[in-house]
Chains A and B, each alone.
Chain A
C-alpha cells in the first residue's frame, strides 16, 4: 500500500519557480547570455515556465532547449533501456551560461549525464543547475545552484512531479512512501 503526501501544491510550485527565477536573475548579470535547458521528463516544462518568468524580469525572451540525457547515462547495462526523448537545442550553446533545469535532484547521475551530453553541442561558459526538489542521497559531487525545496527523503520513497502540461489535473509534487 502506497501512502502519498502532497509536498508542494500548485501555488507553492509557482512561488518556488518565481523565487528561482529571481535568484537566476540576481546571479547572472549578463542576462542575454543565459539560456535554459530542461531535462525531460519534467524539467523541460519547468524550463519553459522559468523562461516565461525570467523574460518578465529581464524584458527580453530567454531561449529554452530540451536535452535528453538517456544515451549518456552510466546505468544503461543494468536496467531496461529508458525512454529516449527528442533533444532540441535551437541555439548555439558556445559562450552561454546554461541553466540546466530538472524536477528532482537525487543521485546526481542525471546531472552528470546532462553535462556530458551538453558537451556534444559546444562549450558553455558556465553551467548552473536549477531543481524544483532536492531530495538528498547524492552519489556524485554535484550541488544545485537553485533549489525550490529541500525534501529529506528515505531511499525507498518516490517523488513525482505532476504538471498540467503533461496532462495532470493540477500541478502537484507528491511523495510516496512504501
Chain B
C-alpha cells in the first residue's frame, strides 16, 4: 500500500503503484455497495463540497453518493446558482466554502489547472473532477479498474481510444494511467482531433479505424466535445459516424472478446450504434457502478494523506 497524497489532482504525477493502490482499495468499496447496509462510517463528520463550475450529472451524482456512503455530509454547488455568476473569483468562492469548514472540495472547472490552483490556496483536500481538456483522473481510475476486473490484468493489453482526443480530458488521463500500467494504447479519430503530438505520451496514433480496433482488447469510445471546439474540426456528424462510428460491421472484424467502453454521455447513432451500446460487449453501465467504488476509494485515501514536503516524500 502506498498513498500519502493529500489531493488527487491528476494521473500524470501518480506512480503505477499509487494507481494500483486506488484500484485495490476500490475493490473493497465495491463490495460495500452489494451489502444490505451500504454505508460505512469512514468519513463520519466530514464535509464534502461538490464545486461544479461546469455541467455534469454522472460525475457529480457519483461523487455525491460516494461521499454519502462514507457517511460524510455533502453540499452541492453548481454554477447556475452561485456567486460565480455574480462575478466572484474562484479563489473567493472556494475560500468561502472553506470558511464553512469543508474538508473536501471536489471541483470541476472549464479551466485546466483550476484544481491545482485551489490545492495551493486551500487547506482542504482537493479532488479534480475534470478540468478543461486537461485531466479527469477518477474517470481514468474507474476505466482501469473496469479493465482490470474484466480482463484480470492491464499490462500487455491493447487499448484503442477512438474519437475526439484533442479536446478530451478523459483521453489524457486514460493515456497516462494505461501507459503507466503497461497497456499498449492506440489513438484513432479524425486527424484534426488526433494530432500526432500525442505520440509523445507513449501511444500510437492511426487514422485507419479498422486497423486501430482489429487487435484491440478494449475499445474506448469518446464523445465529440462540441462545447470545447472553437470551430468545426470535421465536415459533418454524418461523415464522422460513417468514418469512425462503431457499428456491427466494424465490430465483427475485432477480437471476439474485445470490450466496448464509453465514459458517457453517449451520443447514440454518432460514435456508437444504439444496439451496440446495449450489447453484451458493452461495459458502459458497469463503468458507472465502478465509478462509485473508485470515488469512495479516492475520498478514503486522500483523507489519510498529508501534505508532504519534497524531502519527506516516499
Contact = CB atoms under 8 A, between A and B. Distances in A.
Interface of A: 68, 70-73, 76-77, 79-88, 116-117, 120-121
B304 A116 contact: no
B28 A77 contact: no
Interface residues of B, number: 26
A116 B29 CA distance: 17
B42 A76 contact: yes
Contacts of B301: 81
Interface in B1-28: 1, 3-4, 24-25, 27-28
A73 B44 CA distance: 11
Q: Which 8 A-B pairs have the closest CB atoms?
A: A84-B28, A81-B304, A71-B40, A71-B42, A120-B37, A83-B1, A81-B301, A80-B304
Interface string B133-171: 000000000000000000000000000000000000000
A84 B25 contact: yes
A87 B303 contact: no
B27 A86 contact: yes
Contacts, number: 66
A82 B37 CA distance: 22
Contacts of A84: 24-25, 27-29, 297, 300
B3 A81 contact: yes
A87 B31 contact: yes
A92 to B, nearest CB: 10
Q: Is the interface of A mostly helix, strand, loop or mixed?
A: loop
B238 interface: no
Of residues A80, A85, A116, A121, which shows the largest number of chain B Cβ atoms within 10 Å of its Cβ?
Answer: A80
Given A81-B305, A83-B1, A71 B300 contact: yes
Given A71-B40, A120-B37, A85 B28 contact: yes
A76 B35 contact: no
Given A81-B304, A83-B24, A121 B41 contact: no
Contacts of A81: 1, 3, 25, 300-301, 303-305
A79 to B, nearest CB: 6
A82 B41 CA distance: 15
B31 A86 contact: yes
Interface string B283-314: 00000000000000100110111100000000
A72 B41 contact: yes
